[in-house]
Amino acid sequence: MIRAAVLGSPINHSLSPLLHTSAYAELGIENDYSAIEVGSGELQEFLTGKENGWTGFSLTMPLKEEVLKLADVVDPIAARITSANTLFRRDGKWIASSTDLTGVISALNSRGFESGSKAIILGAGATARAVAGALDSRVDHIQVISRNPEREDAMRACVLTSTIEFSPWEYTAGISKADLLVNTTPLYGADLFVDYLPSKIDSLFFEVLYKPWPSLLLAGWKERGGESLDGIDLLVHQGLDQIELFSGRTFDRAAMAHFLRRKALATLE
């Protein structure tokens, strides 16, 4: 029996309950997976008394950094990107992990993107750090375009091999010329760039949002012929890693990813 939940605030929009319960049902595993509103500063109180009977938790904002101070063990990936989206029990301890980073890698691999010369990341928050860590050594150079120069040190710590630079929040023609563009900004954050896109695009865009669906930037990119990944791809692939952690089961990941993507899209289209 798996008992788990996705925690965060706001949480009512989350598709994690749909994906997790669908996957466990497909695997024939009894489960109880829900969405629970837990705001900033509330995680420690929420976890009190949850040591028994709970398998683990999926974490969304604003808890991805807060959890690092509460876990008994923080795995190396989560420590490097200072963000964890997964908390689970092992040997009587709470372990914080990041399947955001591994989810980005799996999503890119599913579209055949294994390496490149340059990637551009829009934003510099927790998801951006996961993306930077995932792209480290896969691309030669990473450019971060953001409004928050105070986040540069944390972003630099995520990158050990690739070179990285930071640019102010403004459109640059290079956005459509890099091998990969990743948008990690919040709701409507990057829509202003749509008006500046060229008429023809042949590079890959990864939009990590899935609400609104599709974002203006994603729709504009596809209209101009660009290849794309979206927030459902990330949600599914990071979710697959959580499902493996929570269930202890292995399965056909490609088939499960296809199954869960169809489930998610049915709620958005």
Question: Measured between alpha carbons, how far is 243 from 238 in angstroms, rounded to an integer?
Answer: 9
* 64 carries an active-site annotation: yes
Which residue is catalytic, options 50, 64, 118, 177? 64
Sheet order of strands, 73-74 included: 31-37, 2-8, 56-59, 86-90, 93-97, 73-74
Question: Measured between alpha carbons, how far is 119 from 132 in angstroms, rounded to an integer?
Answer: 9
Kindly report the backbone phi and psi dihedral angles of residue 165, in degrees, each rounded to the nearest multiple of 5, phi listed first. Answer: -135, 160
Helix, strand, coil percent content, the chain, rounded in steps of 5 = 40, 25, 35
Question: Measured between alpha carbons, how far is 6 from 85 in angstroms, rounded to an integer?
Answer: 9
Determine the residue type at 132: A
Q: Are 239 and 103 in contact (CB under 8 A)?
A: yes
If phi > 0 it is left, if psi is from -120 to 50 it is alpha, else beta; for residue 172 that is beta
List, by residue number, the catalytic residues. Answer: 64
